[in-house]
Chains A and B, each alone.
Chain A
Amino acid sequence: MSKVFIALQTNDDTRQIIQAILADNPHAVCNEQPAMVKIDAEGSLVVRRSTIEELIGRDFDLQELHINLISLTGNVDETDDELTLSWNA
């Protein structure tokens, strides 16, 4: 199975987002680099709005991710509740 990844800036906005992604994707590996983190995951990775909202204690629009997103790979599917990255092979 191929790996997908999402890379985020490391700052105060992303601390809980990263935490939420790692909680929702136990198979993901967090790779810390200067000023950024790269989260790699076999096959697919899901970013869930509800988990982020629980951690930050306010409403969160998944499109806010764009502000601190550095890069990603895989086929993207975004709804109001989830952003999914996946490879089909």
Chain B
Amino acid sequence: MDMKVGKKKLGLKEKYQHMTRGLGWETTYQSMDDVFPFVKYEGIKIHDWDKWEDPFRLTMDAYWKYQAEKERKLYAIIDAYAQNNGHLNVTDARYLNAIKLFLNGISPLEYMAHRGFAMTGRQFPGVGARVACLMQSLDEIRHAQTQIHSLSNYNKYYNGFHDYRHMLERVWYLSVPRSFFDDAVTAGPFEFMVAIGFSFEYVLTNLLFVPFVSGAAYNGDMGTMTFGFSAQSDEARHMTLGLEVIKFVLEQDPDNLPIVQQWIDKWTWRGYRVLTLVGMMMDYMLPKRIMSWKEAWEVYFEENGGALFKDLARYGIRPPKWLDQIEQDKDHISHQAWATFYNYAAACNFHTWIPTDDELDWLSQKYPNSFDKYYRPRLEHWREEAKKGNRFYNKTLPMLCQTCQIPMIFTEPGDPTQICYREVDYKDNKYHFCSDGCKEIFEHEPEKYIQAWLPVHQIYQGNCFEEGVDPTAEGFDPLSAVLDYYHLAQGRDNLDFEGSEDQKNFEAWRGMATKNAA
């Protein structure tokens, strides 16, 4: 009898075909339009979802297998790091503030990305796209969870890690990353994909997860290095998805081009503004530095982004708007951001400080066009004042940009001495912006941004005090009331690193780790 000798297993392409297209069907009890109600209103036209292909051809069975392997490796390292008191091996305790910022400002975005991809995947009629969104949604919740698990180890010992979930919706600077993601998830499915899948993942996340995480390794933080690289290994897939989305959408219909271009302009600018925080982390918060923000920007944005947009030119896509300003800004934004957190250290859930002389010299060397001329005198002045017991704590609330919600700290293109002011009158109200980019984004969808929850204005409206607090009472202290609302303890979670509880504890515990008790 003839035995059919088939191939032992399916090839990658065949398997991908079966495990995606083979799982979908056209609905008949309900119309496809009713089942997928959000897929047309943004104006994007798709004619053939089967043209969608995941270049990695990853299917759910393989996905589980490799993700499980990643998790096993990750948790083995996290456990070892915790058991070995790994937190005492970081270069110095100032470093911890970078990961406070990470947990408070970035990990919640992973969770929002999880929700965003789950919602978006649900809305796409194409099975390939839905499977890819499902994987990314699972990846993102994995990132949120592994980051929380890794960083909870630090929460046992240090301040500022204790209530990130509560703070995300309250603390002034956290409205920047939060509003960025809220803007994306309240858009339609295609805009969300271009915003997060393409502009953020492809063009910008390398800057966060590659040089910063490599920097964490360099500073002895094995926990952060491990979750960071483990997360970024998924990012490689996300970036591929992001690029695939753009190509697929542009190939489907020529009418899609102007819509996609506008989203690329908007979301590259929005993401670029959020990354100001990362610039500051790299230049000021890693005691051992691996590369400057400017250098990282040149490799991961200018070189890679340049190659990407050259490739996309065949579809009629041009590089994002405002690149000339972005090009000039790389000499400035990390310094402007650090100055801001130094100003408002009394209202922060992490500490700031003046860099040491060596660090100031490093900054002078990395930023020859800007640091000595504009920023070093400022930092040295603050240091002198702090020595006299007059550390600067800015107690007056800043003016914010209506779109990115960052205080108006950015300077005019071409003039680093002059704050950039832009404004728009819309329906009897005035709105202010930090840049042409943020202004134009507002003008495109004013009804969306007039709803912005701007922390400074909310404080003045009386919405940022705990229940029962009376702001008209005799001796009312607004800063103290706002810190209560943030769940921050005055003198413990905020202020300068010098003299902080973190500084003292780290020193004492490291001493215990390297010496025997007398």
Contacts and interface: CB of A to CB of B under 8 A. Distances in A.
Interface of A: 2-5, 7, 9, 33-36, 38, 63-64, 66-80, 87-89
Given A67-B66, A73-B239, A79-B13, A89 B210 contact: no
Of the four ranges (under 10, 10 to 19, 20 to 34, 35 or more), the interface on chain B belongs to: 35 or more
Interface in B137-196: none
Contacts of B237: 66
Contacts of B232: 70-71
Nearest to A84: B55
B314 interface: yes
Contact of B304 (A5, A35, A77): A5
A36 B70 CA distance: 16
Nearest to B312: A89
Given A3-B303, A36-B214, A72-B236, A63 B62 contact: yes
Nearest to B291: A33
A22 B237 CA distance: 22
B218 A66 contact: no
A89 B317 CA distance: 13
A35 B225 contact: yes
Nearest to A83: B56
B56 A63 contact: yes
B236 A70 contact: yes
Nearest to A70: B232
A5 B70 CA distance: 22
A76 B244 CA distance: 9
Contact of A69 (B62, B236, B311): B236
Contacts of B11: 79-80
Nearest to B73: A67
B236 A2 contact: no
- Counting from the closest, the 7 A-B pairs by CB-CB distance are A2-B307, A35-B217, A76-B55, A34-B218, A34-B217, A89-B310, A69-B233
A75 B243 contact: yes
A88 B12 contact: no
Contacts of B209: 70-71
Of the candidates B69, B70, B209, B236, the one having the most CB atoms from chain A within 10 angstroms of its own CB is B236
Given A3-B303, A80-B12, A71 B239 contact: yes
Nearest to B232: A70
B359 to A, nearest CB: 18
B243 A71 contact: no
B407 interface: no
B233 A67 contact: yes
Of the candidates A3, A4, A9, A71, the one having the most CB atoms from chain B within 10 angstroms of its own CB is A71
Nearest to B65: A63
B55 A36 contact: no
Contacts of B218: 34-35
Given A63-B66, A68-B233, A76 B240 contact: yes
B236 A66 contact: yes
B239 A72 contact: yes
A5 B218 CA distance: 22
Contacts of B57: 78
Given A2-B311, A75-B311, A79-B13, A35 B233 contact: no
A34 B215 contact: yes
A34 B233 CA distance: 16
Contacts of A2: 306-307, 310-311
Interface string B214-234: 110110000001000100110
B420 interface: no
B452 interface: no
Contact of B210 (A3, A4, A7, A74): A7
B19 interface: no
A78 B229 CA distance: 22
A5 B236 CA distance: 11
A68 B57 CA distance: 18
Contact of A33 (B12, B290, B310): B290
Contacts of A9: 229, 233
B315 to A, nearest CB: 10
